[in-house]
Structure formats: C-alpha cells, structure tokens
Amino acid sequence: MKFPFQNVALIGKHKAPEIAGPLSRLAAFLSSRGLNVVVDSLTAEQLKGSPYPAMRLDEMACAMDLAIVIGGDGTMLNIARTLSPYHVPLVGVNQGRLGFLTDLTLDNMQESIAAMLDGKFVTEQRLLLSARVLRNGVEVFGGLAFNEVVVHRSNISSMIEFEVRIDGEYLYNQRADGLIVSTPTGSTAYAMSAGGPILHPSLDVLELVPICPHTLSNRPIVVKSSSLLEILTHRTGDIRVRFDSHTSHDLQLHDKIAVTRYPEPACLLHPVGHSYYHTLREKLLWNQTL
C-alpha cells in the first residue's frame, strides 16, 4: 500500500443514478485536497459533464493508490476481486441496506475519509478464494471469490451428488442442494443463511457449509485456509459453480472444482475505532432489547 495517497479511484454502484450527488461531492472534496481523482468508466455514465477522467477497472488497477467504493456489499465484492491482486486498498461507503463491508455512511463519509487521508485508519487484510473447474484434467473455468464459491443445483431438479476431499484425503460423499466454500468474510452471507457459523474476518480458516443436505449429520466444518478443497461431481442434473453471485459456470458429470486460498489478500481500510463486533450488533440487530 502506497501512503500518502495521491491517485484515488471513485467507484459507484452500477446503474444507480442516485449516487451522482454523493460522488460529485466526494470528488470535489478529494480534488480540493490536491488528489488526482479518477472515476470508474461505468460510474462516469452517471456523472454527465464530469471534469474527472474516467478509466476502466483494469486500467485503474496499476495506477491507483486508493479506491473508494460507494454502494452495497455486492459492489464491494466485485471491486475487491478485481483490484485486490494489485494491492489497491479499499474504502467502502454504504449506500445499500446491510453493509458488512461498506462501513462508512453517506452522512459521515467526507469526515471519515478526511481522517483517513491524514493517516488515521485501521488496515484489515481479508483472504480471497481461487477456484478452478477441471474437466478431464484441463482447466475450463476459473476465478476469484471474496465471499464464497458455491456448487449448487441451478433449478428445481433433484439433489446433486458430490464428493469432497481435503488435501487429497476423502472427507465425504453428499447428496444436497449444494455446498458453500466460504471465507470468514462470507460467513455472514450465504453461509450464515445456510446455517454456518459466523467467523471473525481475522481468522485464517475456510468453512464448508452444505445446502439442505439429505442427511442431517452432514454439518458445516471449518478447515485451515491453506487446505486444497476438491469437489467432484458424481450426479449432476443441472448444476453450476458460482463465484460471489457475480460469475458462474455450468458443470458436467465428473467435473472437479479445486478451491484454494488466493495468495494476495484484499486490503480494507476502516476508520479508527472500527469494531467488527459493533458491526455484527448493528447489522444483525443484536443490540435490540427483547
């Protein structure tokens, strides 16, 4: 991470015209601080007549010192997968409803970002997943995931059947609607809805959470993040693998999905005093009296 920040990318939720006002105000503020402001090319479509240059995400990757994302967690997931391999730190401003990853608000973003530009921030590393689809030993699809890699049936067909191996050792065969391989970040997303545990994002682990398993003894399991996880499809029907709800690939019988930890983490910046437990209390309504 390069600090002090000089080149700052602004990225907003795609096709959300309501972000134009906050983005324009933030861009003007950053520019007044003497920073070079660049707007994501898709976001720039909402800023007609903007004086700030626009770049594609892949162009930004090697040119930016900091990326500020205005949107919800879904927006942050996509940006993190694209920019994290290039060590670009991310700040999230929540314009959505939940916001586990985007912890600033539109009301406090300018004050909070001003403090961050002065070096008053907390740095947090979040691990990413790398997954490959192998067909007859040849990779036919691959990608990164910030939350989870999910193997699941794609319609109302019958359960799928698959085998799971960890570091080459057989774990189980399972009939279920699918299987979630989740990072600690993703433990508050689909994995939590499927009954998996909440994992603190600093933990160096992954979790495997079955989706509606046929046998109730098939429970979530937590493993070390250095593990090689292999999922082999035995009976498919309509089945696919999905990365963070953003990309997916249709699977065939005997395809193997190999999931490992990606070597480069995502870097999130938070205001001083940020607390993950406070976020849990607020987002999951744990602070409400019974």
Selected catalytic residue, list 73, 103, 244, 255 = 73
The encoded tokens of residue 285 equal: 């309504």
3-state helix, strand, coil in the chain (%, to 5): 20, 40, 40
Tokens 């191996």, located at residue:
165
Quote the CA–CA distance of 114 and 111 in Å, as a whole number: 5
253-275: string of b/e by CB count within 10 Å (b at 16+)?
A: eebbbbbbbbeebbbbbbbeebe
Catalytic status, residue 250 = no
What gap in Å lies between CA 154 and CA 197, rounded to an integer?
A: 25
Q: How far apart are CA 40 and CA 53, in angstroms?
A: 9
Structure tokens given for 280: 């849990």
Catalytically active residues, by annotation: 73
